[in-house]
Amino acid sequence: MSFLLRALNFVDARLARRNTRRLVRDLPYGPEARRRLDIYAPKRAAADRPVLVFFYGGNWDSGDKHDYAFAGRAFAELGYVTVLPDYHHIHEQPYPAFMADAAAALAWVRSHVRDYGGDPDRIAVAGHSAGAYIAITLALDPRWGAVDMVKAGIGLAGPYDFLPFDSPVTRRTFGHVADLPATQPVNHVRADAPPLLLATGDADTTVYPRHSQALAERLRAAGGEAELILYPGITHTGPVKAIARPFRGHAPVLRDIAAFLAKHGL
């Protein structure tokens, strides 16, 4: 997967319009080596742009922010100061280390993003697959101290409701946790949650669409707002690949994200 992402990133960079720039690479948001982030922004300098923090996927056990530069460029083209954090994988440190990293990254963004042209009062979180779990958990679960920072959440093909354990991946990641229900985003819905966009492919057999459907239904029942999109014929990697230029014709993911964020003042 890493090789494919790097190839995709290379092609995307060649096709890019050159109207964005990477402001920083490998900037520390904490003392540990995995606590590093990259920031992308429109090339034209401006103040108080909305901010999007994007978490990559990879079974919570792989991935590298550098391989997702295409996402940084894509969201920067839409006008966002875009932050791509790395985080600890479970073979390095077990859960909840990656959630602690994500919360620390968001706190760093809130404190420092104005220095890079971003508005700390207009922060959205997004992610794909395991990264969608991270983003949506930050938006919903108050244990991570981020719910007041997040104004909207976007989950692409994310796992949100996997008890009893539905795969070796979830068992390996969360099997040691005493309070398993607390690990499930569906159990943290509330009326005052930030609005969520939950988008997935109806042909996803890795993280089935029922995860997004269940969370959307549970949040709406609690009085919150969730927008659910099922892309016909799209598999698990399709929503994130559609952010990159070579695959944008496969599904209108960027258009839908832009419309959702604009609807909510971001």
CATH assignment at residue 161: 3.40.50.1820
Give the pLDDT of residue 1.
Answer: 60
User: pLDDT exceeding 90 applies to what percent of the chain?
Assistant: 90
SS3 of residue 169 by DSSP: helix
Domain that holds residue 210: 2-263
More confident residue, 19 or 133: 133
> What is the rounded CA–CA span in Å between residue 179 and residue 158?
21
Residue 222: closest CA among 178, 192, 258, 246: 192
Question: What is the mean predicted confidence (pLDDT) over 123-138?
Answer: 98
Assign 18 a pLDDT band (cuts: 50, 70, 90): confident
Q: Give the residue with greater pLDDT, 102 vs 10.
A: 102
- Closest alpha carbon to 97 in 86, 106, 87, 105: 87
Q: Which of 265, 181, 187 is nearest to 219 (CA)?
A: 187
**Backbone phi, then psi, for 7, in 5-degree steps?**
-65, -45
DSSP codes joined into one string, 78-124: TT-EEEEE----TTTS-TTHHHHHHHHHHHHHHHHGGGGTEEEEEEE
Q: Which two tokens stand for residue 130?
A: 């395991």
Q: Using a cut of 0.75, tell me whether the model's pTM lies above it.
A: yes
Using 50, 70 and 90 to split pLDDT, how confident is the model at 12?
confident
pLDDT surpasses 80 at 172: yes
Give the count of domains, the chain: 1
